[in-house]
Amino acid sequence: MHHAAGNGHEQANMWGGAAGCAWVDEAALLDRIYQPFEDLLVEAAAARRAERILDVGCGTGATTVALARLPAAKDGCIGVDVSAPMIAAARARAEREGSPARFVCADAQAYAFEPAAFDLIVSRFGVMFFDDSAAAFENLRRAAASNAELRFIAWRSAEENPFMTAAERAAAAVLPDIPVRRPDAPGQFAFGDRLRVSRILETSGWTDIDVQPIDVACRFPADALVRYLTRMGPVGRILQTLDEPTRSHIVDVVRPAFDPYVHGAEVRFDAACWMVRARR
């Protein structure tokens, strides 16, 4: 499929460029928002006493570094991500914290991991971007030791996550060229369909597949909201390319769409996700 190959390249370009840089700049805020998911994965790793852990789509490394704090896993945590700016930030974070976590800048779909090297493979929102998910999970299965567990968190559908699409819905009138999110294309909601997730894992040879819906309360300071909506997601990416007056105008249009989520000094939303488990 010619188009798929181009797509992987597209993801690398996107995360290597503006999108990756925005995530690096806003790492502290995003880590705060997604802390509950990091906690869930660290709990799972602790319960399994996992020693060698691979964190897929590790971004700026918060989860990898948290996993590396577990006594069993201290020397065996590796994060992989396609985004060079995010991996650079992850390495800097590990160095700051004196963490033994290690990082690889590569596409987990194609990277030649050491075979049977990990007893746990995790991801916090990092596995929805492959252009060929079955090939990617097959490659990860080869990296998994016998009886290893795969455990990842992915978004459910866009419909179930109205907070995540509030900006683009509100901006549609003033920004006609926002890219449409296609549910089957690589991207935030690519794993929205539970059956598709199970099918991908079955096709790539994983067993004991378990896909559970989880709804997780997320929060962040209300004074970070405008920064959030001007940097993140499809609207944030477009806003970065516009001049200041245009940007201010669009923020004025979009900001009221978030009123239902603002509670005093806090922004609160529920993240509708899947917690996915499978075994090698």
Contact indicator for 227, 28 with CB cutoff of 8 Å? no
Q: How far apart are the first and last CA of the chain?
A: 28
pLDDT at 66 (0 to 100): 97
pLDDT given for residue 6 in this prediction: 43
Q: What average pLDDT values come out for the chain (280 residues) when binned by 10 residues?
A: 46 66 86 96 96 97 97 92 95 96 96 96 96 96 97 96 93 84 85 96 98 97 92 87 90 94 97 98
For the entire predicted model, the pTM comes to 0.91
C-alpha–C-alpha distance, residues 247 and 250, integer Å? 5
Identify the CATH assignment for 2-158+182-219+270-279 out of 3.30.390.30, 3.40.50.11540, 3.10.150.10, 3.40.50.150: 3.40.50.150
Residue 279 confidence (pLDDT): 98
Q: What is the pLDDT of residue 16?
A: 65
In the chain, what are the domain boundaries?
2-158+182-219+270-279
> What does the angle CA 199 – CA 269 – CA 156 come to, to the nearest 5 degrees?
10
**CA 41 remoteness from chain centre:** 13
The strand pairing partners of 219, in sequence order, are: 268
How far apart (Å, rounded) are the C-alpha atoms in residues 67 and 90?
13
Position 207 scores a pLDDT of 98
What are the residues whose beta carbons fall under 8 Å from the beta carbon of 176, sequence distance 6 or more? none
With vertex at residue 84, the alpha carbon angle to CA 82 and CA 88, rounded to the nearest 5 degrees, is: 125
